Structure 1
Amino acid sequence: MSPQAKAIFIISLILGSTITISSNHWAAAWAGLEINTLAVLPLISKSHHPRAIEAATKYFLVQATASVLVLFSGMTNAWYTGQWDITQLTHPTSCLVLTAAISMKLGLVPFHFWFPEVLQGSSLATGLLLSTAMKFPPITLLYMTSHSLNPTLLTVMAILSAALGGWMGLNQTQIRKIMAFSSISHLGWMAIIIIYNPKLTLLNFCLYTLMTAAVFLIFNSMKVVKLSTLMTAWTKMPSLSTILLLTLLSLAGLPPLTGFLPKWLIIQELTKQDMAPTAVAMSLLSLLGLFFYLRLAYCATITLPPHTTNHMKQWHVNKPVGTSVAILTTLSLVLLPISPIIASI
């Protein structure tokens, strides 16, 4: 893909996201979502591999359906209440349709089936985009309509997302699929708290984006896409493998790393809302995710594979790591001590 074309698509992505985030009208929000979808399709299919074309097709079909449902939700609400304002979503049917549409866009259970397949068919750079930036506009719509949504429905979907994201990630060997199920699991944590404390959802999303970007960029630097090649990465980039270990543990939510902060605050908020059983369930389900993060971390830092591999060991290279990797990994590890400042924003 030529740099000019890539620049056009990236600018379109930024434009689409900005339109959706800053709009108060359903039609404008829908237009922004459509621009986003159309801009990311060439980035998914740029390798012209059949798997990439399949991923782009699946992504288009799912996102187009979700966008239609978003518009339908806004039109239904306008029909009954005369309001096109996003924050004035009051009709029960509209709220239900919007929840389904946003869940489909984000990849929440039970609309999650497309996400691992699309991520597997994309490159690591595009996978990073799909896992982070492309989820921001739908999260924003969810944030703006959070006061109107059904708490029981969202709680059930969130618990199922955390459970299924952890469960399905256990037996995966492809790194992109593991990251996809990790994303689904994290979305469960965001969805469960959005009605009670929407700002906490945004904080969770920002920290999730930070940590996921760090992990994806490290994988991209190592040029690994599956566990068997990750096992031989230690000989090539030992320092980066060590940093990857810590970043994965942060993504798993272990203290005293940054990833512990959102889980801590969400459990605290759920307890305040007299939802202690839900908090316990979410905490236990996060152990499933911890298992496959530890599996990834083990494979990343293993100095000698436990069995014979078909991959030639790489020579140690002193290839400089990008500044973005250094900044993101640092932030992914050390933000917990300043959590009072972050929480007060």
Structure 2
Amino acid sequence: MPPLATLMITLGITMGTLMTISANHWLTAWLGLELNMISIIPIIAKQKHLRSTEAATKYFLTQATASALMLFASTLNAWQTGSWDITQLNNMISSILMTSALMMKMGAAPAHFWLPEVLQGSTMTTALLITTWQKIAPITLLYMISNHIQSNITLLAGLLSISIGGWGGMNQTQLRKMMAYSSIAHLGWTLTVISTAPNIALLNIIIYMMMSTPFFLSLTTTTSKTLQTMTTSWSYSPTTTIILTLLLLSMAGLPPMTGFTPKLLILNNLTTYKLNTMALTIALLSLLSLTFYLRTSYLLASTAPPTTTQSTMLWRLKPHHNQITAILTPIALFNITILPALLM
């Protein structure tokens, strides 16, 4: 891609997100989301094969549908209340439609169908961008309208997202699809408390982004795309293998890792509001996600010396692999060891 085109696309993605999160008018927020969507489509489709074209088309159609629904909801709210202010979403139908549109933009269930396919047709760097940066704007809008969100809808969507994210990731051998279902499951945890404790929901998604960023970057440096190719990473990068194992355990939510912190806060909040059945249900459903996290961690740990791997080694070392690993190590360790600091 030419440098000028790369610069324009980067500016479009950055400015679109910043425009949305700083807006107080629905049309400005919609415009920022549209700019963001148009800018990332060339990044998804830059690979010259049919899978990337299919992924870009699915992403465009889904995001355009969600944008149209969002524009309709904001127009209906302005028609009923006379206000285009984001924090004044007082019409109930508009609130339901807007919540549905934002969940579709993020990839939460039941509008999750596009996320695994789009990530599978993209590169690891693009998948990282979709699962982290592209969720900032919709999450911010949900945070801003959290006082007007119907809690029954978000609880149901969160329950569906956690269950679908767990079931979908169990039979995956492709790492990008597995991380897509992991993203859906973590969005479910966020949605369960977005209407009662938006600050905890925001903390949950921020911690997930902090964990998934070094994970995707580590996969990029080792060019691992499947579970089989991931098992050979110890042979040429033991540090990266250890980082990946600890990050997987952290994303699974095992104490004393960082990923346990938001789950503990969310369960505590649900029990505070007398939603004990809901808290018990999502805690049990999280065991589904724990299954494929532990399976991947076991595959990484079982290939450590003196055990020999049965997978074929591939020529895929990168020239600056050691430098990138040296940068990722402190970032990953910070994500892993933040929980003891929070509990002190």
Common fold: TM-score over 0.5: yes
Which of 331, 334, 344 pairs up with 1:331? 334
Q: Distance in 2 between matches of 1:32 and 1:120?
A: 26
2:313 is matched with: 312
Per-residue deviation, 1:297: 1.3
Query: For residue 186 of structure 1, what is the amino acid of its counterpart?
Result: H
Q: In the alignment, is the contact (CA less than 8 A) between 1:162 and 1:282 conserved in 2? A: yes
Tell me the SS of whatever aligns to 1:173: coil
Q: In structure 2, list runs of 5 or more residues that go unmatched.
A: none
Please give the per-residue CA displacement for 1:287-312, whole angstroms capped at 9, x wherever unaligned: 11111111111222332789854x23
Does the 8 Å contact 1:77/1:89 carry over to 2?
yes
1:138 aligns with 2:138: yes
Q: Partner residue of 1:52?
A: 52
**How far is the alpha carbon of 1:231 from its aligned partner?**
1.5
Deviation at 1:206, TM superposition (A): 0.8
Residue 84 of structure 2 aligns to a residue whose secondary structure is: coil
Q: Is the 8 A contact 1:26 1:85 kept in 2?
A: yes
Asked if the contact 2:303–2:309 (Cα under 8 Å) also holds between the matched residues in 1, the reply is: no
Q: Displacement of 1:315 after TM fit?
A: 9.9
Kindly provide the amino acid, as one letter, of the partner of residue 29 in structure 2: A
Which amino acid in 2 is paired with 1:208? Y
User: Which runs of structure 2 are paired with 1:1-345 in the superposition (5 Å)?
Assistant: 1-303=1-303, 308-309=310-311, 311-312=312-313, 319-322=321-324, 324-339=327-342
Determine the C-alpha separation between the residues in 2 that align with 1:62 and 1:278: 30
Gap change, CA 1:332 and 1:117, over 3 Å in 2: same
- Structure 1: 5+ residue stretches without partners: none
- Of 9-18 and 229-238, more deviation after overlay is shown by 229-238
Please report the RMSD computed on the Cα atoms of aligned residues, expressed in angstroms: 1.8
Task: Note if contact 1:233-1:314 (Cα within 8 Å) is conserved in structure 2.
Answer: no
| In 1, Cα distance between equivalents of 2:314 and 2:127 | 26
The answer to whether the 8 A contact 1:70-1:98 is kept is: yes
Bigger drift between 230-239 and 175-184 goes to 230-239
Number of corresponding residues: 340
Please state whether the residue corresponding to 1:109 is helix, strand or coil: coil
Amino acid paired to 2:44: I
User: Aligned AA for 1:199?
Assistant: N
Per-residue CA deviations over 1:176-200 (Å, capped at 9, x if unaligned) read 0000000000000000001111011
- CA shift in 2, pair 1:260/1:81, >3 Å: same
Structure 1 stretch displaced more, 25-34 or 41-50: 41-50
CA distance in 2, matches of 1:106, 1:77: 22
Contact 2:221 2:321 in 1 (8 A): no
Contact 2:218 2:240 in 1 (8 A): yes
Letter in 2 for 1:165: G
Q: What letter corresponds to residue 233 of structure 1 in structure 2?
A: S
* Distance in 1 (alpha carbons) for counterparts of 2:47 and 2:3: 15
Instruction: Confirm or deny: 8 A CA contact 1:232 1:314 kept in the other structure.
Output: no
Which range moved further: 319-328 or 11-20?
319-328
d(CA) in 1 for partners of 2:102, 2:76: 16
Report the AA paired with residue 273 of structure 1. Answer: Y
SS in 2 for 1:87: coil
Partner AA of 1:270 in structure 2: L
Give the direction of change, closer, same or farther, for the CA distance of 1:316–1:150 in structure 2 (3 Å limit).
closer
Distance 1:151 1:319 in 2: 46
Checking the alignment, whether the CA contact within 8 Å between 1:70 and 1:101 is kept in structure 2 is yes
Give, in whole Å, the separation in 2 of the partners of 1:229 and 1:86.
46
Deviation readout 1:131-172 (Å, 9 max, x if unpaired):
000001000111111111111111011001000100110000
Normalization by structure 1: what TM-score?
0.94
Deviation, 1:228, is: 1.1
Partners of 2:203 and 2:317 in 1: how far apart?
Answer: 38
Q: Tell me, what secondary structure is at the counterpart of 1:254?
A: coil
Q: Distance in 1 between matches of 2:3 and 2:262?
A: 37
